[in-house]
Every structure is written in structure tokens, then in C-alpha cells.
């Protein structure tokens, strides 16, 4: 397999169900998908969002404070995923952006490399540690720091479309698209800052439906089931 070091970007909603922001069955589903792909050649890391807990600023909370709440929510999600992986016999560690929390180890590139080389699934929490940056940008930043081969963007759709396929029946799917095309067409896949980081560091982004059983393994086996974004 060409992709040895992989960063999986999960949304916070991946952990939830209709009643709970963190659902044990959803956590088990994540663990099951990861168990099928772990082997000696793969080094896997994860960035998780906070959408199951928090959706940002409102009238009562300014953007900086809202983003701090979101960063803390990613820590809760990361700890939940890590514990679920451990329960399933998978070595896992949470590395958190500096200054966000002391509930887990503080991130450093050297520490992340060490854990990945030792076969741990490394979960990056706390965003970038700064407001005004989303977890998509966090994924691009951490992938650049650890020199990941690819970012796998887990979604509920099977790739990138010309328009929202749920709203526009004429929408067509891209098999491949360039970073610049995605930016120019204003495709709402990742933030522009995330695209620019990936473009600068030549990190492919692969958008796929994470909710289909076995899809993570299919992607890592080289099957074309989503959309590739690259140079």
C-alpha cells in the first residue's frame, strides 16, 4: 500500500446518534472500521470535530470564546474514541494542542512521530490551540507536521459533487479534482486554509462515505469509491 502514514478526519457527528452526543455503538463502529485496516505498514492518526456538542458562536458568545468551547469539545470526543479503541485492543493516545487541557498529553511533532512509529493510533485534540481555525485546518496542519501521505475526509456522502446531491438531482460526482479547482468552485469540502496547507505540502485529500461498512478498508486498498483532491 502506497499510503503508510494516514490522517483520518472525522466529524463530531460520527460519534453521535439521535439521542446522545457520544453513542457507544457509534464508537464501536469507528473501532470496527479501524480494526480492519491496522497492520504493520500503516500509521494512523485521527482529527475529530466537535459538531456533536457545539456549532459555534451565537448572540451570547463571541467567536473567540465559542472556538475555545469547540476546542474543549474535541478533547472529549478524542478521549472517547481513544478509550473505545483501547477497549478493542488497539493502542491509542490523545495528543492535545498546547494550552487547551491537561487531561491528555500535549502535542509535539516529535511525540506524534514516536507514537506512530510504535504502532499507536494517535488522536489529535484541541484543534490548533487557537481560535478562528476549524478542525479541517487542524487536520491539514497536523498532516503537514507529521508528513502524512494522505488525509481521508470521512463524510456521509460518497465524494465531492458539483452541487449538494441531496438538493440538486443534476449534481454530478468528481472522481478527481485539483485543490485550485475546489477553491475556485467554492466547493464546501474543507476551508481554504486547509486546502492551501495541503497544496503547499502536496498532501492528497480523499473524500469518502465513512458510514458504509468496510469503506475505510476499501479506500486504503486503493478502490475508487470517493473523490481525490490533489495537484
Separation of alpha carbons 219 and 93, rounded Å: 24
Q: Are 47 and 9 in contact (CB under 8 A)?
A: yes
The residue segments making up the domain with residue 200 are 5-230
Cα–Cα distances (Å) from 92 to 84, 183, 218, in that order, read 9, 34, 23
- The confidence score (pLDDT) of residue 195 equals 94
Which residues of the chain register pLDDT less than 50? 1
Q: What is the pLDDT of residue 231?
A: 87
CB atoms within 10 A of CB 192: 13
What is the predicted pLDDT for the residue at 99?
82
The grid cell for 80 is: 472517547
pLDDT in tens, 28-55: 999 999 999 998 689 999 999 999 998 8
Domain count, the chain: 1
CA distance 13 to 174: 24
Strand 5-10 vs strand 227-230: parallel, antiparallel, or unpaired? unpaired
CB environment 86-122: b (16+ within 10 A), e (fewer)? eeeebebbbbbbeebbeebeebeeeebbebbeeebbb
Grid coordinates given for 211? 458510514
Question: What residues have CB less than 8 Å from 189, skipping those under 6 apart?
Answer: 153, 160, 182, 205, 207, 229
Please check whether residue 46 is in contact with residue 121, taking contact to mean a CB–CB distance below 8 angstroms: yes
Asked if 75 and 36 count as a contact pair (C-beta separation under 8 A), the reply is no
Query: How far is the C-alpha of 132 from the C-alpha of 67, rounded, in Å?
Result: 7
CATH code of the domain containing 174: 3.40.1160.10
Give the integer Cα–Cα distance in Å for 204 and 206: 6
Helix (H, G, I), strand (E, B) or coil at 140: helix
Q: Determine phi and psi for 143, rounding to 5 degrees.
A: -60, -40
**pLDDT, tens digit (0-9, with 9 covering 90-100), for 85-119:** 999 999 999 999 988 888 999 999 999 999 999 99
**What pLDDT is recorded for position 168?**
87
CA dihedral 159, 160, 163, 167 (to 10 degrees): 20
CA–CA separation, 122 vs 195, rounded Å? 22
For the entire predicted model, the pTM comes to 0.94
C-alpha cell read off for 168? 440538486
Give the distance from CA 114 to its chain's centroid.
20
Amino acid at each position: 500500500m502506497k499510503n503508510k502514514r494516514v490522517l483520518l478526519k472525522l466529524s463530531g457527528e460520527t460519534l453521535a446518534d439521535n439521542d446522545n452526543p457520544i453513542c457507544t455503538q457509534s464508537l464501536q463502529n469507528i473501532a470496527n472500521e479501524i480494526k480492519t485496516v491496522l497492520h504493520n505498514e500503516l500509521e494512523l492518526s485521527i482529527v475529530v470535530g466537535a459538531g456533536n456538542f457545539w456549532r459555534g458562536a451565537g448572540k451570547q458568545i463571541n467567536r473567540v470564546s465559542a472556538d475555545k468551547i469547540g476546542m474543549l469539545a474535541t478533547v472529549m470526543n478524542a478521549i472517547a474514541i481513544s478509550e473505545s479503541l483501547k477497549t478493542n485492543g488497539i493502542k491509542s493516545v490523545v495528543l492535545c494542542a498546547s494550552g487547551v487541557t491537561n487531561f491528555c498529553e500535549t502535542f509535539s511533532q516529535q511525540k506524534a512521530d514516536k507514537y506512530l512509529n510504535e504502532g499507536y493510533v494517535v488522536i489529535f485534540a484541541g484543534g490548533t490551540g487557537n481560535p478562528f481555525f476549524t478542525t479541517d485546518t487542524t487536520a491539514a496542519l497536523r498532516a503537514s507536521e507529521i508528513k502524512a501521505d494522505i488525509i481521508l475526509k470521512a463524510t456521509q456522502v460518497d465524494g465531492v459533487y458539483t452541487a449538494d446531491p441531496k438538493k440538486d438531482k443534476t449534481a454530478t460526482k468528481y472522481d478527481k479534482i485539483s485543490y485550485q479547482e475546489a477553491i475556485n468552485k467554492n466547493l464546501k469540502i474543507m476551508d481554504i486554509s486547509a486546502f492551501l496547507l495541503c497544496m503547499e505540502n502536496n498532501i492528497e485529500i480523499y473524500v469518502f462515505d465513512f458510514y458504509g461498512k468496510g469503506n475505510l478498508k476499501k479506500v486504503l486498498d486503493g478502490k475508487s469509491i470517493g473523490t481525490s483532491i490533489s495537484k
